[in-house]
Amino acid sequence: MTHTLTLELPEQVYEPLLKVAQRTGTTLEHVALEYITNEVACFENDPVEKFIGAFDSGVADLGSRHDEYIGESLMRELHVEEESR
């Protein structure tokens, strides 16, 4: 089953999508659908997602930026390990 969705995109979103479509020889709609499909798949397969909202971390954007925070933490750990060698 498919559904039709009509979106109004700001210029700063539309233009990059259009450039990707032109570069890859596909339609703007196809490019947008691929982006949306990939984002939904990442959201559904995110192992941290089930913990979002389970406790108060004091970080307002933890739900949307948790991967970034995990990456930063890993980089700090690697830096500390390198310094201890």
* Gap between the Cα atoms of 18 and 25, Å rounded: 10
Quickly state the pLDDT bin for 80 (edges 50, 70, 90): confident
Calculate ∠ Cα 7-12-18, nearest 5°: 70
Pick from 37, 34, 11, 9: nearest CA to 24: 34
CA distance to 40, 54, 69, 79, per residue, from 27 (Å) = 20, 41, 35, 44
The tokens for 68 are 């970034």
Residue ranges covered by each domain of the chain: 9-45, 54-85
Q: What is the pLDDT of residues 25-74, one digit of tens each?
A: 999 999 999 999 988 887 777 777 777 777 787 888 877 787 888 889 88
